[in-house]
Amino acid sequence: MPVSLHHRTSPARSDGALRNPLLDLLGPLAYIPIVVAVFYTESGPVRVGLVAGIQLASTLIFGARTVFGAREDPKSRSRLEEHWAVAGGLIAAAMPWILAPSSQYGLVAITMSTIAVVASDTVFLGVRADKWWIRLTAIEVVSTAAYLVLAGSAALPVLIVLFALHFLGGYQAIRALVDRLRTEQAHSQRLALTDPLTGLHNRRKLTAYLDGATDQHPSRQVLLASIDIDNFKQLNHRYGHTGGDRALIAFSRHLETTLGPAWIVIRAGGDEFIAVSRNGSADDVRRALDSPTIAISPTTSVVLRTTAGLARGLPSDQLIDDAGAALQLAKREGKNRVVELTQEIRSRLHARRWVATRVSDAIASGAIELWAQPITDMKTREIQSYECLARWVQEDGTVIPPDVFIPMIEDQRLERDLGEAVLRQAVAFASKLDDDTVVSVNIAAAHFSHPSLIAFVRQLLEEFRMPPVRLTIEITESEPDGESGQFETAARRLRKLGVGLSLDDFGSGYSSLERLLRLPFTQIKLDRSLVPTERHGAEALLIEGLAHFANGAGVTLVAEGVETATQMRRIQELGVTYGQGYFFARPAPLTDVLRAHHASGELRVPATSAADSRRYVGADAENLRR
């Protein structure tokens, strides 16, 4: 049954309002004996002392009750503070009336105090026309007039009655004002913690919930789910933003209903939701996200596909990040699934975060170094060139491979810094080979298009006195061109300088024949995914055609990922001359490569070598097989 899109908004509750009729009645009447006692006391100092004593006593009573009796009850404490303010305010406001009968300037004092009070009341009425405040103002004017007309002992009973009415009106007016202000404050707090579209809690509420959970149960874990609606942009395009909003509202109701009261559901923004619970389970989330049918109009329903990441741990911002990381992992695995963050994945994520904070220093200190792997003539087994591969080697020998640190470099816009560092290492390495062997090195597309690249390459070649033809710059085919005009200009300037240009990982990403024909490549490297397993497969036909193209265009064609003799024979049969892969040699540090190269002219690093036995941090095995 589709989830209804109807969204009911709960009326505002008067959380701050006071509802105590007995207090309303007895509160003002309690002051009448005080008024009578004060009026029948002739001595001014005694009156002042009596009023001050009453104020002090009320302060001590309410203060003690607030501190000791309502410490753990916020609502009770708020009510006591309100009563305290009302009592103190009424006594202070009545001081001129209390002191006037015994003063020789009583007439002047009471007249001036009445003018001041009425003036302030008038200002207040201009802001908020409250009925109790209107009555209070009227009572003040009438009582003052009565005092002026009936000044003397005959006026005393009238003054007592009017003064009691004055207290009653003031008490009710202040009560009404505080009640309304507290109600508006509670409403504002709800708005601040609520998403205006769906009525769900927002991120501020999530933060408050996690903080509260930490305070109440510091060692108790919670389960947090980060949820995304798959392909929500397409839904917005298809049904318009109104339809998208209705889908979000209906999905919100669905989550609240299916997850139940054990969960707090938050809209984090857009089509992103967060659900958190102390007692919930991953199965709760899976049931809630099992292809819900959502009504976006009376006649139209859609089945939503969702992806979620789960993380369990102590309440913290880190837990939110962990659930978000699990969500990204679920998206990479194909969406429409729920992935729970395991301890193994969490450790890998923490390692990657560690990498992200130190990658800039690693570039500057030279910790990111080059290893080399030969490109071999498969017929003669002679080394045609070396490809230089970046590795981050730590002091303890642990190796962080590029699939871990390159994304961090791209996020921090450090492509140029890394590119210049590896170019310098590659040219220095080539200068030590003492022959015509070519060295290639991969740089990012963002660095390739940078205006400083050509000057930097020219400077390196002059510094190491190396012919440009011995350097080849590789561009990963899985990266788009970015600004295609700048990209093409840089490619042609490098070729004019004499530097080779290689298209790496051809067949794995953004490749096109148009790009291949437009840019002056001197080398094409076939991605390992194209290495054929059969003589007459589709890959074989494609490679055979590329081999004819390369031979006719004078371009070197290299097959990557050659790991067996069978693969090498099939590649040779299709017309490819050069190969790269574990069958010929594994990547090794430049010092090992130089030693082997000068000794025999070829490099063979066995599987048991020191280079291959190093520990790799956070690496996917497939990304290291080159």
Q: pLDDT digits over 290-305, tens only?
A: 888 888 888 888 899 9
488 Cβ neighbours under 8 A, 6+ residues apart: 481, 518, 519
Residue 609 has pLDDT above 90, yes or no: no
Of residues 173 and 382, more confidence is placed in 382
**Cα distances (Å, whole numbers) of residue 151 to 33, 112, 136, 154:** 22, 16, 22, 7
Taken in order of first residue, the domains within the chain and their CATH numbers are 21-192 (no CATH), 203-341 (3.30.70.270), 368-624 (3.20.20.450)
The 3-class SS string of 210-249 reads HHHHHHHCCCCCEEEEEEEECCHHHHHHHHHHHHHHHHHH
Q: What DSSP string describes 498-561?
A: T-EEEEEEETSSS--HHHHHHS--SEEEE-GGGS-SSTTSHHHHHHHHHHHHHHHHT-EEEEE-
* Entry pTM: 0.55
**What is the model's pLDDT at position 615?**
43
Residue 61 has pLDDT above 70, yes or no: no
The tokens describing 3, both together, are 């989830």
Q: State the Cα–Cα distance between residues 227 and 245, nearest whole angstrom.
A: 17
Q: How far apart are alpha carbons 347 and 2 in whole angstroms? A: 41
Give the tens place of pLDDT for each residue, 402-436.
888 888 888 888 999 999 999 999 999 999 987 78
Give per-residue pLDDT as tens, 451-507. 899 999 999 999 999 999 999 999 875 444 445 678 888 889 999 999 999 988 887
Q: Grade residue 608 by pLDDT with cuts at 50, 70 and 90.
A: very low
| Mean confidence (pLDDT) of the chain | 75
Among 309, 324, 304, residue whose Cα is nearest residue 253: 304
Average pLDDT of the segment spanning 204-221: 76
- Mean per-residue pLDDT for 381-400? 89
Beta bridge partners of 253: none
Single-letter amino acid, residue 510: Y
Predicted local confidence at residue 517, as pLDDT: 77
CA dihedral 376, 379, 381, 387 (to 10 degrees): 0
